[in-house]
Amino acid sequence: MPDRITPYGAFNFLVNLNGPIGETQPLGGFSDVSGLSSEITMAEYRNGNDRANHVRKVPGIHKVGDVTCKRGIVNSSDLWAWITATRQTGILAKRTIVITLRDEAGNGVQKWTLGGVAPMKYTGPTLAAKGGGDVAMEELVLSCESMEVAPV
């Protein structure tokens, strides 16, 4: 039986892009992370001599969904530098990304480790002079090859 029965809030997390600062310094304070998903394709198969007239479902390949990260723009070019590196070096720019959910005290409780990650889409902010109080947001969509989920 787990020690804690109250679910953790979804608002306290770290995104470590494993960029130029290194593994111990997460880059950027993201306000949203969405798309953490994994899907296993099921292949339908039936032996010709099966007595029962139904198919068996056999696990096939798996795929990891694209992950979208959003943050307010800060005086940093880290995301754009990664996009540029991906354009120039291709697969050599792929990284391992770690997203850590934290409890109320700031301790890590669960982490998602994304492997073979490359940026696939960048969306800059909508700039409008009439807003006044809106934060300029940027969005980065990441292509992921693998995902592991584990407690910290």
Domains of the chain, earliest start first: 13-151 (2.30.110)
What's the confidence (pLDDT) of residue 27? Answer: 60
What's the confidence (pLDDT) of residue 117? Answer: 97
The pTM score is 0.87
pLDDT in tens, the chain (152 residues): 467 888 899 889 999 888 766 556 666 578 999 999 999 999 999 998 988 888 999 999 999 999 999 998 887 788 889 999 999 999 999 999 999 999 999 999 999 999 999 999 999 998 888 867 788 899 999 999 999 999 99
Task: Report the alpha-carbon distance of residue 124 to residue 130 in Å, rounded.
Answer: 18
What's the confidence (pLDDT) of residue 22? Answer: 59
What's the confidence (pLDDT) of residue 2? Answer: 64
What's the confidence (pLDDT) of residue 23? Answer: 58
